[in-house]
A = this chain, B = another copy of it.
């Protein structure tokens, strides 16, 4: 479904691949929140405001599947999530650039 569409123009293929990383609306927010450092799940719920319990789990599952986030067990039946090297590369690179652009052009966006 992605390959045959790449016939049209190649760069588009990479745009679609990248879009799938942030296409779920909460994923970029979770990645951005994890830039502040490793954090336990419940603290992540607080750090990100307004996300529901289930959605955070789903988002973390997706990000784990793409090896952007890793999970470690901690004491007290707790869990710590942190960015992987790939995740840091994405969060500090394209995602940070995206946020910076949005900040600069904030006034121009309705």
Mark A residues whose CB is within 8 Å of B: 1, 4-5, 7-9, 11-12, 14-23, 25, 28-29, 32-33, 35-36, 46-50, 65-67, 86, 89-90, 93-95, 97-103, 105-106, 108-110
Known: A14-B102, A17-B109. A48 touches B8 (CB 8 A): yes
Number of copies: 2
> Once bound together, how far apart are the Cα atoms of A16 and B7, in whole Å?
32
Minimal Cβ-Cβ distance residue in B for A2? B50
**B residues within 8 A CB of A29?**
12, 15-16, 19
Known: A11-B99, A99-B11. A108 touches B17 (CB 8 A): no
> Once bound together, how far apart are the Cα atoms of A20 and B46, in whole Å?
22
